[in-house]
Amino acid sequence: MKILLLVLHVLASLGIIAVVLLQSGRAAGLSGAIAGGAEAMFGKRRGLDALLERLTTIIAFAFFLTSLLMAIFM
């Protein structure tokens, strides 16, 4: 149980590092600087950015959960 939890925790940490590094920056290019506020307000995020954002949330939750379980069981 402890080894499985540790393996899941390491995989979650490596996954969140990879997903965060794959995301583009907030001001990616000139269009990001000009239309950044409008996109944030009206929700124009589609495609790969939205997928990576959702994956970041899921993997971060898994990392939090494994951290909490490791604190309780170890």
Domain hosting 28: range is: 2-73
Per-residue pLDDT of the chain (74 residues; tens, 9 = 90+): 899 999 999 999 999 999 999 987 766 655 555 555 555 555 555 788 889 999 999 999 999 999 999 999 98
Q: Which residues contact 16 (CB under 8 A, 6 or more apart)?
A: 56, 59, 60, 63
Count how many domains the chain has. Answer: 1
CA end-to-end span of the chain, whole Å? 10
pTM (2 d.p.) = 0.72
